[in-house]
Structure 1
């Protein structure tokens, strides 16, 4: 998530991958544990399968944000390495949540390949693998940041955001308990809580929080930054929900299934909010049904309610508000960080 001004080059991306190789090598030789050949091979394979396979946007955003906070000064090799280490901690964090999330959702694929737990001989060992992924983070932080004045703050921010993310996941899961499909629960307030805690904190705020701490800043001095990034996270998820319905599969890389899956999507929340009694009956009878006819009826209802127009109005409004918030910040460097995030997601099509 980088603007052109602070973009991470291909060379830097390769250097980022090189740091992953270093960290993996250290973790599978961690002297705190008595390794066997089988256990070392298992962890190495598990890491390669789950950690570096995505777009790496969150991890690279740490480097980009730290770079922008330096206001054009070239980073030293040591700074670039440490920012990369923090970026990989964010990617490890993401991998930990995804491994467990796929199990809870009974998902079959992730990043174009079978979910880790779906692989032969893995199964529920993946639960423990997720715990190992999470516990790698403090091992990495201890090795590289123990002597830094912000070390405890790094530990705190990962711990607190883990709590918030897990709590958001809990709200999402208990809202859609098996056999308890109740659209009346799907309110904008509930939706915002799920998105705020399940996605916004770790996807948008955590990378920048890491960069701010490394730059010597106090997080409590940057509430405006946190609020803006969390709002961007909400906007990002609403875009995802919109694209699940209206995005071209060849562009977004998947066929949307939020309707069939009875997801607490922004689209259905707005539909419940806007529809009349007759439309509400159609929605209640067809949402969450896994057949083409029901999906078509729900999409037709979305069109009748002009949810495309509702989304476009929301997108325009939130962009103006975020831009005003960013430009009100006293630091040009912080403005640059926030603008880099916003420019990357505004009017995205995938």
Structure 2
């Protein structure tokens, strides 16, 4: 059985060997730039690890690394919608090449993802495509809800959780489910892997929200970015649900106050978060989701030794605060 480090090397080599045309440069160079940006490779790693639960040879699952190309395609278009200048600590494709190039290169990435996915074993391809298409549409739905929230006066915690399940967790869960199918899992096993990854993806996104306001610089984005944008993160919607009217006014208007420096805005909003116990409540929700994920994995009817690499990887994801 390969170690997680060996699986990551296998994945990186596989992606690096995907040859793209050289012309037109302004279509393909941004794709190379995006895919070379690294990132955690969370989705294809979960795919390979899920395959490894049921199969000794995970090479069969490599074409489904198309999920990483699809994920990066969504980031290109997200950055246009968010007017984001930075992605993973370097200029975004949108900032470097402009919106039109980012749209077209993103479209080409989506097509490339399907072309790669089509190399999966023919007997399993209909099931793989069904999972992939459901997952891809869910991501689009989640993104639309996220954009809707920008102009919505009140967003509940339940609405926020539904949104991140679609925008983040569905892609993570679809990746795990495809890996299980390609490894030979039956319907019940593959659905259990899906539910494991839904909970893990939720924990991961909530941790991301927490790190944005309280973490270090390791995420490649400005600490307090969500606060400065007035974004309805889990921390913000939780705070709004618990705040009195005076606190709500601070949460609603601080990010727009031109008289305050960015650091003052962050400090003012965090003071409300702290007063309402929001960091602890967020940690509590992260732990709940992560524990549910591990319990679901533990209930899977495969030898414990086969589960350990996936369990170890999940723990490494949730140890980002350390």
1:7 aligns with 2:24: no
Quote the residue 1:102 is aligned against: 79
Q: CA deviation at 1:261?
A: 0.8
Q: Structure 1 stretch 265-274 or stretch 208-217: which is displaced more? A: 208-217
Query: Is this contact kept in 1: 2:177–2:190, CA < 8 A?
Result: no
RMSD: 2.6
Query: Is this contact kept in 1: 2:203–2:287, CA < 8 A?
Result: no
Distance in 2, Cα, partners of 1:319 & 1:275: 27
Distance in 1, Cα, partners of 2:319 & 2:23: 47
The gaps in structure 2 that reach 5 residues or longer are: none
Distance in 2, Cα, partners of 1:166 & 1:271: 27
1:140 aligns with 2:121: no
Query: Is this contact kept in 2: 1:243–1:349, CA < 8 A?
Result: yes
Quote the residue 1:157 is aligned against: 131
Q: CA, structure 1 residues 263+344, in 2 after alignment: closer, same or farther (shift >3 Å)?
A: same
Quote the residue 1:24 is aligned against: 19
Query: Is this contact kept in 2: 1:260–1:289, CA < 8 A?
Result: no
1:48 aligns with 2:35: no
Q: CA deviation at 1:47?
A: 2.4
Quote the residue 1:255 is aligned against: 222
Query: Is this contact kept in 1: 2:50–2:193, CA < 8 A?
Result: no
Query: Is this contact kept in 2: 1:117–1:126, CA < 8 A?
Result: yes
Kindly report which structure 2 residues correspond to 1:193-204, keeping only aligned pairs within 5 A, or say none: 193-202=162-171, 204=172
Cα deviations by residue, 1:126-146 (Å, 9 ceiling, x for unpaired): 21211111111222233x22x
Q: CA, structure 1 residues 296+196, in 2 after alignment: closer, same or farther (shift >3 Å)?
A: same
1:346 aligns with 2:313: no
Distance in 2, Cα, partners of 1:323 & 1:66: 17
Q: CA, structure 1 residues 15+230, in 2 after alignment: closer, same or farther (shift >3 Å)?
A: closer
* TM-score, scaled to structure 2: 0.87
Kindly report which structure 2 residues correspond to 1:69-218, keeping only aligned pairs within 5 A, or say none: 69-70=54-55, 73=56, 75=57, 79-80=58-59, 82-87=60-65, 89-120=66-97, 122-142=98-118, 144-145=119-120, 147-177=121-151, 182=153, 185-202=154-171, 204-218=172-186
Q: CA deviation at 1:335?
A: 4.6
Q: Structure 1 stretch 102-111 or stretch 132-141: which is displaced more? A: 132-141
Cα deviations by residue, 1:7-45 (Å, 9 ceiling, x for unpaired): 3335x54443332243225xx3xxxxxxxx732x44442
Moved over 4 A (4+): 218-221, 287-290, 333-338
> Which of these two proteins has the greater Rg computed from alpha carbons?
1
Q: CA, structure 1 residues 8+339, in 2 after alignment: closer, same or farther (shift >3 Å)?
A: closer
Query: Is this contact kept in 2: 1:65–1:337, CA < 8 A?
Result: no
Quote the residue 1:321 is aligned against: 292
Aligned residues: 316
Query: Is this contact kept in 1: 2:47–2:180, CA < 8 A?
Result: no
Q: CA deviation at 1:49?
A: 0.8
Quote the residue 1:285 is aligned against: 253
1:228 aligns with 2:196: yes
Q: CA deviation at 1:175?
A: 1.7
Quote the residue 1:33 is aligned against: none
Distance in 2, Cα, partners of 1:156 & 1:337: 27
The gaps in structure 1 that reach 5 residues or longer are: 29-36
